[in-house]
Chains A and B, each alone.
Chain A
Amino acid sequence: MNPKILGIDREIIESLKVNGAEVQGVYTSTIHLLLNDLLITVGHKVGYGKHHVVTDQAIDFYAYDLTTKTKVTYEKHQIKIGSLVLDVDEENIRTYQPYLKTFRFNTNTLKTISRLKDMVRDRHHYNVFSFPKDNPWLSYQFEKIDIFLHAPGLPSALSIMGLGMGLTPLGDDILTGFILGLNTVNKTLPWIETLIKEAKHKTSRLSYQNLNDTYHRFYPDIFIQMIEGLFMENDIEKATAILKLGASSGAGILTGFIYGLMA
């Protein structure tokens, strides 16, 4: 039996029908598809989101001998990625909407955010609140990040865009979190739109997409769970799923988020 898709955005299906896609990157438990200019992440544990395709089981993508440029097609309710076939039931095709809920601060939420800040500081080695000062790489990154967080503006934001290691550099994680924080309390800053445009050629494709999705309020479910945990239940524990992302991504997003809320 083929693996099934549990969640996929209708626009992805429509675009796949017309244009097809190709494999952009293969990892142990996820795969990236390049669909027009969009990166689509496919996997069992990727979480529901506009550009995520969730499968009903873990798939070892290496077992299918997929390589970059392998063609991806959709027909007769099946997505074919090389030799891998994924079944798509109509009921699992979703139409993702932007998350438009916004929240206001009260004394309790301020205390909760303060606890969240403590959590990032205490449970993560690499964060702006405390980091090993003798590491020149981290010092360089955190000095720039610190300037942005305390004086957020286009120049300081651009100075951290694309800064750091990995698929989503730490600087971009901070910016993603910052925009998420602004959106959450319904604030806008005039330079964010320019920042998103700049991201298209200043950082990696995946990172640009995360920033763009966040700006347009298309959040992965773990973001929504964290926001509602913080503002509706004064609970910081839902943020731990974010804190665990990557080596430093989670701490970066949460740090940016806290400063975005307070901006």
Chain B
Amino acid sequence: MKDAKVLKNSYYDSVTLMSTTVQIKKDLGLNDLVMFMGTDMNKDMIKSVGLYHESLDEAKPNDLMLAIDMQDTIDHWVDEVIKRLNSKKKTEKKGEQKLTSIHQAKDVLDANIAVISVPGIYAAHEAFKALDENMHVMMFSDNVSVEDEIKLKDYAIEKDLLVMGPDCGTAIINGKGLCFANQVKRGSIGLVAASGTGLQEVTVIIDRFGGGITQAIGVGGRDLSEAVGGKMMIKGLDALDEDEDTKVIVLISKPPHQTVLEKIKERLKHVTKPVVLCLLDAHLDEKIDRVSFVSTLTDAAIESLKLVGIKTPDLLAFDDQLKDQIKKNKQRFMPSQTKIKGLFCGGTLTAETLSILRPLVNKVTSNVAKKTDEKMKDPRVSDGHNLVDLGDDIFTQGKPHPMIEPTIRIDRILQEAKNPETAVILLDFELGLGSHEDPVGITLSGIEDAKKIAAQENRSLAFVGYVCGTEHDAQGLKKSENLLKNAGVIVAKTNAQAAVIAASLVNEVK
């Protein structure tokens, strides 16, 4: 059934209209819903797809046209649309105090850390204000120029402060998670990381086996570039070395620039505490006293736990039940099904999977790869073993990050299900602060639909999932894992194990 409505003199920005359209279509089970300004060209467009209704004739260019195609009549659809559009306007909760500047926040709250999340071109300006007020800075904002980043970090070092970021998504300071972080126990392990989901993965594994965190400092992905020179990685390392509660230090990063690596190695020679250095995808020959070198996030967690006296089981091992699941899934594949399609929300989890799969399967490509021959030609196009970070700018322009809004991954899951070469769909789910309230639950219908699509061509897909979270996260680790298990998904203990399971399913484990 088709219907339409004109909202006189109604303006909404395109981001609001797009996100509201997607959500309402899903929630009300609509065939289609469009919301366009009442211009002649938009009327023609609505006519061209057969959604036009004569009531739209009266719409003028400053009016908003709503046109709907629904399976069953929903009387309240207009009210629902208006309610959803307007709900995005309500920003202030009762009892919350509205502070409008960093200066005011410092005065009223006596805050000692500022989280900056404004468009990149303004972020440096706000960060300088915070540093002037002697506050540490966490910059969630990206698109900050490298020149500004260097100036900010130099100024912070001069004032003995931290600048975490730009583009820093995760930190845990004095037990308080900032932006995307999990609820983990406090303890004796301190971390510095140029990697958001990398930091989350290591902290949740530490938590799972009884370890705890003193501080988890993010530094932003560009800190270890030649230009920035690892200023905050070294500053963070120094801070943890001086911190009495920290007994073991973990550093996490993708491979830094060689000159920066040399600086870090030099600094490590003078650190007084044991350090676990996790450089994903890199190899370090040199031995340094008290420094353990690892190349996966799982190993970084295991090694740091070992250093504080906690033993862990082999997190890559397959038990009998898992072996049986793998065997059964493999038996159902058609001959054409030979490829792994990793669809990730976490960038570092994508990078870790690439590092693990590289020696296990033939030719794997990814949009996070640094090596030219491993780069996906177009991350939107599936071809061979692919690991796609859906948090990449190309997928998130004008849209929320998939950790916040995982439904944007569902379209890609369905796309991969149509591809006859797809055998395994590998998924990560991040729980905790900042993430979607139920990232697993919202994805289940996509998994179900993908299986149906494959079944129409007598194919059977294997889904492998990993949930990065703790039992104390609001979403609940066990609850999320159980939802996946009930949907027939093979659930891994760590991101690294998920990669190895995927490789086993396509029979390429060497």
Contact = CB atoms under 8 A, between A and B. Distances in A.
B398 A204 contact: no
A156 to B, nearest CB: 12
A62 B91 contact: yes
Contact of A241 (B17, B119, B380): B119
B366 to A, nearest CB: 15
B11 A62 contact: no
Contacts of A141: 45
A206 B121 contact: no
B11 A246 contact: no
Contacts of B120: 240-241, 244
B197 to A, nearest CB: 21
B90 A241 contact: no
Contact of B13 (A124, A125, A167): A167
Interface stretch (A89-97, A101-109, A158-166, A185-193): A158-166
Q: Tell me which of B14, B18, B98 has the highest count of chain A C-beta atoms within 10 A of its own C-beta.
A: B14
A250 B119 CA distance: 14
Contact of B41 (A26, A27, A161): A161
A162 B61 contact: yes
A163 B39 contact: yes
Interface residues of A, number: 57
B45 A140 contact: yes
Contact of B92 (A60, A137, A159, A164): A60
A151 to B, nearest CB: 17
B445 interface: no
A163 B45 contact: yes
A124 B41 contact: no
B122 A162 contact: no
A180 interface: no
A3 B394 CA distance: 37
B31 interface: no
Contacts of A204: 11, 37, 39, 61-62
B41 A163 contact: yes
A38 interface: no
A7 interface: no
Interface residues of B, number: 43
Interface string B377-415: 010100000000000011101110000000000000000
Q: Tell me which of B15, B37, B42, B120 has the highest count of chain A C-beta atoms within 10 A of its own C-beta.
A: B37
Nearest to B39: A162
A48 interface: no
B39 A160 contact: no
B118 interface: yes
A202 interface: yes
A163 B119 CA distance: 27
A192 B14 CA distance: 26
B188 to A, nearest CB: 40
A84 to B, nearest CB: 12
A202 B12 contact: no
Contacts of A140: 45, 48-49
Contact of A45 (B62, B122, B397): B122
Interface string A208-226: 0000000000000010000
B456 interface: no
A203 B36 CA distance: 11
B174 interface: no
Contacts of B101: 57-58
Contact of A166 (B13, B90, B378, B380): B13
B89 interface: yes
B258 interface: no
B11 A57 contact: no
Nearest to A161: B41
A55 to B, nearest CB: 10
A205 B98 CA distance: 32
B34 interface: yes
Contacts of B34: 137
Interface in B35-51: 35-37, 39-42, 45, 48-49
Contacts of A243: 397
Contacts of A260: none
Contacts of A124: 393-394, 397
A60 B91 contact: yes
Given A123-B397, A124-B397, A28 B89 contact: yes
Q: Tell me which of A68, A125, A140, A171 has the highest count of chain B C-beta atoms within 10 A of its own C-beta.
A: A125
Contacts of B45: 137, 140-141, 163
Contacts of B9: 68
A125 B49 contact: no
Interface string B141-174: 0010100000000000000000000000000000
Contacts of B380: 125, 130, 132
B372 interface: no
A196 B45 CA distance: 22
Contacts of A202: 39-41, 61
A256 interface: no
The 9 A-B residue pairs with the shortest CB-CB distance, nearest first, are A162-B39, A166-B14, A247-B398, A163-B41, A247-B14, A162-B41, A124-B397, A246-B14, A165-B14
5 contacts: A68-B9, A124-B394, A203-B37, A247-B397, A251-B397
Interface of A: 3, 25-28, 32, 45, 57-60, 62-63, 68, 122-126, 130, 132, 136-137, 140-141, 144, 159-169, 171, 201-207, 222, 237, 240-241, 243-244, 246-251
Given A136-B49, A241-B121, 11 more contacts: A27-B13, A62-B90, A140-B48, A162-B39, A165-B14, A169-B37, A169-B41, A202-B61, A247-B15, A249-B14, A250-B397
